[in-house]
Amino acid sequence: MKILLITSEEWNDFVYCNGVLTNWFEGFPAEFAQIYVSPGLPNNHICKKYFQITDAQMARSILGGPKAGKEIQMQTNAKQLEATKSDARRKGIYGFFKKLTLWCRTPVVALQDAIWAWGRYDVEAMKKFIKEFNPDIVYCPRKITPKLIRLERFVRTMTDAPFVAFTADDEASYQQYEWSPLYWMRRWHMHKAFEKHVIGFYKHYWTFSKEQATDYTRQYGVPASTLYKCGDFSEPFTPHEVNKPIRLVFAGHIYCNRWKSLAAIGDALKVINRNGVKIVLDVYTIDELTKEQTKALSPDRYINMKGAIPPAQLAKEYESTDIALHVESFDKKFRLATRVSFSTKIIDLMATGCAILAVCWNRHAGYQYLKEHDAAFCVDSYEDVLPLLQRIVDNPSLIQEYAKKAYDCGKRNHSREEIQAQIKQMFEKLIRENNRNN
């Protein structure tokens, strides 16, 4: 089986979210090639063939420069691979614009849209790349954008292989909270373009959210279902001895006002620990704190800010942790922005032997999944945080009970064998149907 990937970012295991490609396809019986639209370089041990298109290439093509797109070679020596790790941190102009879009997203994204709408592809080079690879499936794990719509349609003219998509984002719905008229103008345009693109284009659509999968089938007639990350459940579950004091851990970004949910937990800890320290929270994050955040996430709330640590070290921290946290903001803007997302970290946490505590909106896809499978302590309001934590402090055996529930859910639904069988069966089915129709 030959799988052609079309993605926003390069397949670099050190770039956020692209680690999921290796997670899905480690040991998968297939050959891979990738077309991607970022300036970074790949770093993985699975895929060897790449075709790169960048903002700069497209901009130069508009100004009379060469057409955009080129085949690149996988880096092989240690020095080159180390350079791709540094590049993955998104330094330079590309990283600047990635950060800038957090604060003035619409104008910057609109400029990118225009560049990709008018830029000129090196169609012959792309056609040669695709023809030589000759894919059986074209798989598009990404958040759809105008540039990817145009790219996918170009690729569609160069291969008869069926297209399958995956998204972890709310791509085009109107369930958002923004005041900018420019934002809503672009959202309206994106909604219309998405509808026109999806209908009849994809043979299957994977999402993290059951609700989103149902909506896509109902609105666009595309078969859709959920697909999650693999976890390592090869070792049998071993219960951890509960610490005194009980230890909570959060690891990750605190943006999108996640820090407010951590602060609410800190408020509860302050009440519980009035007559002695019974429970504490350690936070590992690469993010720099503002003055407001530093005050809210302070030691007097029994919150210890630890900074960032490497993944291998974090795994060891979880071995001595009682409860790992999954939190999202309750602010309307961020509730809607993250509604259909499902942190890939949730599956990793299931395999740690820790219990999981989810503090987020009850329409959040991650919350709904954990609640449905009874795989975590779940609270959907700040008012419920204190009663739940007090119950846990009074009954520490609940921690081991829910740690086992989390592990069993992961082993049952997210083993590598389970997830790869799901992907393989879908691809083989679509390839058989495509061969019959051709």
**Cα 394 from Cα 390, distance rounded (Å):** 6
- pLDDT single digits (tens) 382-402: 999 999 999 999 999 999 999
Q: Give the Cα separation of 325 and 370 in Å (integer).
A: 12
Specify burial of residue 104 (Cβ count, 10 A radius: 0-12, 13-18, 19+).
exposed
pLDDT at residue 373, as a whole number? 95
- Are the beta carbons of 70 and 128 closer than 8 angstroms? no
For tokens 């970004």, what's the residue? 253
User: Which pLDDT belongs to residue 438?
Assistant: 76
Lay out the sheet containing 323-327: strands in order across. Answer: 303-305, 279-284, 246-251, 323-327, 355-359, 377-379
Please check the confidence at residue 412 and state whether its pLDDT lies above 70. yes
Q: What is the rounded CA–CA span in Å between residue 31 and residue 42?
A: 16
The pLDDT value given to residue 3: 98
- Summarised one tens digit per residue, pLDDT across range 162-173 is 999 999 887 777
| Joined tokens for residue 289 | 């704190």
Q: How far is CA 263 from the centre of its chain?
A: 24
Which position has the token pair 């003035």? 104
Q: Which residue has the tokens 């909270």?
A: 177
Cα(281)–Cα(202) distance, rounded to whole angstroms? 45
Model pLDDT for residues 323-351, shown as the tens digit of each residue = 999 999 888 887 787 777 777 788 889 98
Percent of the chain with pLDDT over 90: 62
**pLDDT by residue (tens digit) across 208-258?**
888 899 999 999 999 999 999 998 898 899 888 999 999 999 998 888 889
